[in-house]
């Protein structure tokens, strides 16, 4: 493509409200433009990359026998009433009313739709297992849309759903999907870890997340380089108000604590001294769908010395309390606690196993550098961006929505389901977080909007123009995608734009055009890395 005719509105300045590298560079490189908070247009360059990610996803989904379909983004509210999620999904679900007064949900996810679809079309074991997927725009009215495409309110998701007669069949599909996701992210060039995650509010069983490693990430993961161990530590233990009220041992002694700030929200903290150790307790209220609502429960900036009764008074009867520590808290998994801070100790009350505070002493605490749980290697902590998740749903939706099938013995059973998501637009941003320098993006080959950036230093010069035209057509014939900067701009502007856009290879046609010599270099090596090359030998470089 000739750059003079392309819509690539690059920006010299860093946009004021773009906090993350990916957000800044995607805006500055002319890949995306914001239309409203968390809502973006993909401009030609950005959309090219999106399509490459989608192609990789389609190839990997097709390879494991998942069939592509497309369901509407606008979903009848009745389905969400049937599943019960119209009420519990909360304000994240965008809703609208048509001219007849009927309500719709803008699809935040597709379980309701797909379950209603199979209940009408699939009713015998003979058709099982069945696997379908779509790439469709999703809507979530995120409380804090931010970091550009990383947390949008309208975003592109690949969502897949599988249906089974048996748990074994679900297990088989789950691991096939898991491997397909690994392939997708590897082919995208992403540095990532597949981690065990919390199945909590979705009510499912096994689940893994695919976490792209990046400092900007909102999740914390623990992993080991020498073993397969990896876990998301987002899950904090939850106890009910009743458990707190009935607990004999809390608190024996206490200190007041300072309010910690997380994001722009206040978190109220207080320290309790228990029989076994000093623990730091953070109070949070959680809502039904596990979207943590942080409340300053005491309504003050600083926590006053706190009686258990006033703590209970501060809570709404429906509130649950998360108890955990901060400043290095990395959370807990399977009864093991992970932390980076030297001087903190953590407590846990597990509602399922009904642990009590007096049993804290039994818990294990793990720090960075400690051996990992499976006996191989040492624990490391990292920040991650959740780019995908695979999930064994079980019969949650098929039971509530009546998606049944006849098994081999003619018995009616609910379909066993799995659901699997990839954030397509989020993946694009995650790539940018990992592939950039201070001057701009540096695309991995598999996703680059163009393979080669052909830059004509002075297009008014006939020899440069003629040689560029020839190179443009020869390189295109060889199968390369070439972006040709034929614009009548100052060389400084062209090189700055080229670095922002970040095609893997730059070919510069300048003063030595009359001798058929051009400069060639990899974007990541920058200008100093460019070498003079005779045009005849270019294809070997």
Residues at the site binding ligand ATP, with contacts judged by CB under 6 A: 109, 140, 142, 151-152, 155, 157, 386-389, 421, 423, 425-426
CB of 367 to ligand ATP, least distance (A): 26
Q: Whole-angstrom Cα distance, residue 359 to residue 347? A: 9
Give least dist CB 165 to ligand ATP, A.
25
- Minimum CB distance to ligand ATP, residue 145 (Å): 7
Candidates 111-119, 143-151, 386-394, 519-527; binding stretch for Mg ion (CB under 5 A): 386-394
CB nearer to ligand ATP: pick between 141 and 437? 141
* Gap between the Cα atoms of 189 and 175, Å rounded: 21
Q: Among residues 423 and 521, whose Cβ is nearest to ligand ATP?
A: 423
Check binding of 232 to Mg ion (CB under 5 A).
no
For the bound state, the minimum distance from the C-beta of residue 39 to Mg ion, rounded and expressed in Å, comes to 16
The smaller minimum CB distance to ligand ATP, of residues 268 and 425, is found at 425
Shortest distance (Å) from residue 309 CB to ligand ATP: 35
> Scanning the structure block, which residue is given the tokens 């300045």?
13
Helix axes 424-434, 44-63, angle to 10 degrees: 110
Question: Nearer to ligand ATP by C-beta: 193 or 487?
Answer: 193
Distance CA 361, CA 236 (A): 18
Which tokens in the block code for residue 457? 């230093």
User: Residue 439 burial by CB count (10 A; 0-12/13-18/19+): exposed, middle or buried?
Assistant: middle
Closest to ligand ATP by CB, 290 or 526: 290
What does the block give as tokens for 144? 């804090």
Smallest distance from ligand ATP to CB 87, Å: 18
Contact 345, 325 (CB under 8 A): yes
Q: Which does 453 bind (CB under 5 to 8 A by kind): ligand ATP, Mg ion, none?
A: none
Query: Count of CB atoms within 10 A of residue 72's CB?
Result: 12
CA-CA distances (angstroms) from residue 16 to 23, 377, 429? 11, 43, 18
Gap between the Cα atoms of 182 and 164, Å rounded? 23
Tell me, residue by residue from 110 to 149, as one string, x for binding to Mg ion by CB under 5 A and - for no binding: ----------------------------------------
Which residue, 389 or 398, has its beta carbon nearer to Mg ion? 389
How far is residue 42 from each of residues 37, 45, 62, 484, measured CA to CA in Å?
A: 15, 8, 25, 21
| Residue 152 binding result from ligand ATP, Mg ion, none, given CB thresholds of 5 to 8 Å by partner type | ligand ATP
Say if residues 522 and 529 touch (Cβ distance below 8 Å).
yes
Q: CB under 5 A: which stretch of 40-48, 119-127, 164-172, 388-396 binds Mg ion?
A: 388-396
Minimum gap (Å) between residue 409 Cβ and ligand ATP: 36
Tokens read off for 277: 């150790």
Q: Which is closer to ligand ATP, CB of 210 or CB of 282?
A: 210
Shortest Cβ 69–Mg ion spacing (Å): 22
Residue number closest to ligand ATP, CB atom: 423
Smallest distance from the beta carbon of 389 to Mg ion, in angstroms?
4
Cα gap 444→189, rounded to integer Å: 6
| Burial letters 502-515, b for 16+ CB under 10 A, else e | bbbbbbbbbebbee
Question: In the complex, which residue's CB is closest to Mg ion?
Answer: 389
Using the minimum distance from each CB to Mg ion, give the nearer residue, 386 or 433: 386
Q: Using CA atoms, how far apart are residues 116 and 93, in angstroms rounded to an integer?
A: 19
Which one among 389, 398, 434, 456 touches Mg ion, defined by CB under 5 A? 389
CA distance 32 to 381: 32
Where do contacts with Mg ion occur on this chain (CB under 5 A)?
386, 389
């Amino acid at each position: 493509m000739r750059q003079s005719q392309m819509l690539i509105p690059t920006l010299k300045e860093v946009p004021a409200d773009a906090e993350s590298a990916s957000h800044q560079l995607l805006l500055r490189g002319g890949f995306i433009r914001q239309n409203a908070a968390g809502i973006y247009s993909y401009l030609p360059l950005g959309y090219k990359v999106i399509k490459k990610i989608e192609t990789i996803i389609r190839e990997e989904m097709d390879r494991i026998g998942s069939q592509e379909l497309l369901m509407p983004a606008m979903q009848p509210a009745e389905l969400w009433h049937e599943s019960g999620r119209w009420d519990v999904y909360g304000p994240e679900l965008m809703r609208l009313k048509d001219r007849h007064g009927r309500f719709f949900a803008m699809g935040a996810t597709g379980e309701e739709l797909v379950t209603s679809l199979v209940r009408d079309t699939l009713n015998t074991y003979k058709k099982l297992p069945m696997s379908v997927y779509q790439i469709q725009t999703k809507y979530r009215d995120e409380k804090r849309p931010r970091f550009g495409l990383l947390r949008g309110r309208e975003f592109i998701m690949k969502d897949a759903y599988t249906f089974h007669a048996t748990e074994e069949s679900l297990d088989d599909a789950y691991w096939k999907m898991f491997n397909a996701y690994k392939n997708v992210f590897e082919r995208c060039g992403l540095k990532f870890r597949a981690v065990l995650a919390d199945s909590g509010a979705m009510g499912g069983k096994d689940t893994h997340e695919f976490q792209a490693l990046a400092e900007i990430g909102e999740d914390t993961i623990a992993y080991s380089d020498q073993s397969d161990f990896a876990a998301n530590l987002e899950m904090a233990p939850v106890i009910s108000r009743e458990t707190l009220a009935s607990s004999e041992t809390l608190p024996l002694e206490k200190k007041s604590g300072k309010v910690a700030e997380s994001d722009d929200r206040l978190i109220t903290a207080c320290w309790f001294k228990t029989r076994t150790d000093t623990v730091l307790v953070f109070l949070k209220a959680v809502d039904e769908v596990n979207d943590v609502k942080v409340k300053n429960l005491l309504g003050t900036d600083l926590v006053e010395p706190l009686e258990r009764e006033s703590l209970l008074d501060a809570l709404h009867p429906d509130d649950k309390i998360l108890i955990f520590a901060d400043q290095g808290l990395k959370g807990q998994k399977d009864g093991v606690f992970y932390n980076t801070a030297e001087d903190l100790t953590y407590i846990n009350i597990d509602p399922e196993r009904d642990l009590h505070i007096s049993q804290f002493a039994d818990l294990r605490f793990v720090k960075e550098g400690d051996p990992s749980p499976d006996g191989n290697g040492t624990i490391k902590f990292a920040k991650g961006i959740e780019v995908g998740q695979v999930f064994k749903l079980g019969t949650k939706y098929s039971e509530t929505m009546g998606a049944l099938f006849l098994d081999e013995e003619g018995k009616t059973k609910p379909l066993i389901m799995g659901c699997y998501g990839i954030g397509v637009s989020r993946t694009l941003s995650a790539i940018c977080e990992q592939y950039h320098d201070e001057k701009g993006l540096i695309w991995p080959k598999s996703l680059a909007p163009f393979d080669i950036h052909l830059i004509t230093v002075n297009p008014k010069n006939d020899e440069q123009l003629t040689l560029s035209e020839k190179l443009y057509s020869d390189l295109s014939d060889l199968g390369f995608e070439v972006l040709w900067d034929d614009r009548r701009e100052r060389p400084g502007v062209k090189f700055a734009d080229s670095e922002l856009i970040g095609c893997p290879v730059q070919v510069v046609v300048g003063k030595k055009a009359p001798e058929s010599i051009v400069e060639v270099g990899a974007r990541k090596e920058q200008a100093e890395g460019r070498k003079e090359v005779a045009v005849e030998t270019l294809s070997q470089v």
